[in-house]
A and B are shown apart, each in its own frame.
Chain A
Amino acid sequence: DAGITQSPRHKVTETGTPVTLRCHQTENHRYMYWYRQDPGHGLRLIHYSYGVKDTDKGEVSDGYSVSRSKTEDFLLTLESATSSQTSVYFCAIFNYQPDKQRNYGYTFGSGTRLTVV
């Protein structure tokens, strides 16, 4: 178990308000990712981090910002929520275990269902 949790699990917010989603991992993984999943689009990368204070944009980064001040926490902020940001958001870590020579790809958190009204 990669020990990755997201909070909150569900949230309803109003258009124009800021929203922060939290991802927490317990196993010191270097890489962390934020995806959104929408019908007809699949999983799309928003932002990712390759270390503390090291982040980069994904394919759908407009309207989102991230921060990683500690290895274990990766925060996603919607600076001014819009209805188009209604989605399910998944955090993921890259789960490679060199001692077992096993590559599991991503392990995902349980997701946050965000509704912007």
Chain B
Amino acid sequence: GQNIDQPTEMTATEGAIVQINCTYQTSGFNGLFWYQQHAGEAPTFLSYNVLDGLEEKGRFSSFLSRSKGYSYLLLKELQMKDSASYLCAVREVNRDDKIIFGKGTRLHILP
């Protein structure tokens, strides 16, 4: 089976840095995604990690450790528009490209 865990909610201050953790257990791992979802909107792609290490893209970075079943999304220089839910999702091997989603972390940004 598969299980993806991430915190339900987090709060951070504008201009600060926040790290959202995700742990997973799957029967066959083939990559991890992070998506951002603003209230009332569809999820949108943020990052994809398939190898261990850090991927940096502007203010956002994503880290993966396959041996530990662990990932994190790092958001720097937080802006009010970063208030959203962040979804961790795992792609499984040979499963018709199905992606399993965590329940998401709702991030609140305080001024």
Chain A residues with a Cβ under 8 A of chain B: 31, 33, 40-45, 48, 50, 56, 58, 90, 94-96, 103-111
Contact = CB atoms under 8 A, between A and B. Distances in A.
Given A43-B101, A48-B96, A107 B87 contact: no
Contact of B104 (A42, A48, A50, A95): A42
Given A96-B97, A110-B41, A111-B41, 20 more contacts: A31-B96, A42-B101, A42-B104, A43-B101, A44-B101, A45-B98, A48-B96, A48-B98, A90-B42, A90-B43, A103-B48, A103-B50, A105-B31, A105-B33, A105-B48, A105-B99, A106-B35, A106-B43, A106-B89, A110-B42
A31 B97 contact: yes
Interface in B75-93: 87, 89, 91
Contacts of A106: 33, 35, 43, 45, 89, 99
B103 interface: yes
A51 to B, nearest CB: 10
A43 B87 contact: yes
A45 B92 CA distance: 14
Main secondary structure of the interface of A (DSSP, over half): strand
A48 B43 CA distance: 18
Nearest to A30: B97
B48 A33 contact: no
Contacts of A44: 101
Interface string B42-66: 1111001010000000000000000
B31 A103 contact: yes
Contacts of B104: 42
Contact of B97 (A41, A94, A110): A94
